[in-house]
Amino acid sequence: MFEKLHLEVLDRLGSAGELDWTAAILEAANVRAKKTSQGLGCQAAGLST
C-alpha cells in the first residue's frame, strides 16, 4: 500500500515540476551498498564507504 501511494505522490510532484532529481541523484550516491553473496560491497566497485 505504501509503495503504491509513494509512487503516486512522486508522479504527481514530477508532473507539477516540483521534484529536483539532481538532489535525488546526489543522495543516491550516499546510499550504502548491500553485501553480495560473495561478501563484496562498495569495495568491489572501487567505492569508499
Residue 21 pLDDT: 77
Residue 12 pLDDT: 94
Residue pLDDT, tens place only, 1-49: 889 999 999 999 989 998 887 776 656 666 677 766 665 555 555 555 4
**42 Cβ partners below 8 Å, 6+ apart?**
32, 33, 48, 49
Q: What single letter denotes the amino acid at residue 16?
A: A
Residue 22 pLDDT: 76
12 lies in a domain? yes
Residue 20 pLDDT: 82
Residue 36 pLDDT: 65
Residue-number span of the structural domain to which 31 is assigned: 1-38
Domain tally, the chain: 1
19 lies in a domain? yes
Is 0.95 topped by the overall pTM?
Answer: no
47 lies in a domain? no
